[in-house]
Amino acid sequence: MSWSGFKKSMNRTGISLMQGFGAIDKTVDKDFLEKEASFKHLQVKVEELHKEARGYGEAVKAMTTAQLQVAEHLEHFYDPNSAGGAYSAQYRQTMADIDTHTRPEFDDVYQETVMNPIGRYCGYIPEFNAAISKRGRKLLDYDQARSKAKKLADKQPTHVTGGTRAEQAESQARTTYEVLNQQLSDEIPQFVNIRVPYLEPSFEALLKAQLKFFEDSYAQLQTSRDVGADGAPGNRPMNEQVEDVLQEMRDLSICGMTVR
């Protein structure tokens, strides 16, 4: 910040404090305050959406990575030359294909159709915030100029020249403020109202991307869905097979020992 900018900032801080004490009248635009509140509410929601959308993409990546890691560790439990080893190798390869091909395809579509549009919408928020802050500064300048002009106008006619300069300064400050205020008053509602038509296509794209990803993953898993550890389709319900294995474990002598 330049020295000139620093002095302006300090001066505006002083004006704001004086308004707090009632020494200088403060302009209150209720209509604009409502629009600003609506914008701030939207900002919170859209930034949360952007954060959660990014988290979802990262979660999908973490899921396919974890699936592959589980498959790799599961493969170690089988003899590579056994039917179970062949089955676990097939499962690991399926998980690898999903992690290295299916999921990256989803990532590309998700980034282009969901993340990028949301990111672009969020990108305008700092510009609006900067303009709102500038409006606040120009409003303080206007209130200060108006206060000075009023004080000089209340004095004797000997201050006509000073009063004229103060009135000109007030007029200029008012014009600067009103132009920016009107621009924001017009554009904030437009930005808020466009949120649904702008983001709705991204929501539709999200549904389609999810559907394709899960359909492709399902198709790749379909071949091994009902295959048992012996490499043949399992004819018995899975819960019955698990119960048989658990019973074999219970029958082990060590499992029946009592700790003394």
What pLDDT does 142 receive? Answer: 85
Average pLDDT score over residue span 177-206: 95
pLDDT tens for 2-54 read 545 544 554 555 555 455 545 456 677 899 999 999 999 999 999 999 999 99
- Provide the whole-model pTM: 0.76
Domains of the chain: 28-229+236-252 (1.20.1270.60)
- Which of 76-90, 101-115, 223-237 holds the top average pLDDT? 101-115
Task: Determine the 3-state secondary structure of 89 from DSSP.
Answer: helix
Query: Mind giving me the DSSP string for 175-216?
Result: HHHHHHHHHHHHHHHHHHHTHHHHHHHHHHHHHHHHHHHHHH
Model confidence at 73, pLDDT cuts 50, 70, 90, reads very high
Location of structure tokens 């056994």: 82
pLDDT at position 233 over 50: no
Model confidence at 61, pLDDT cuts 50, 70, 90, reads very high
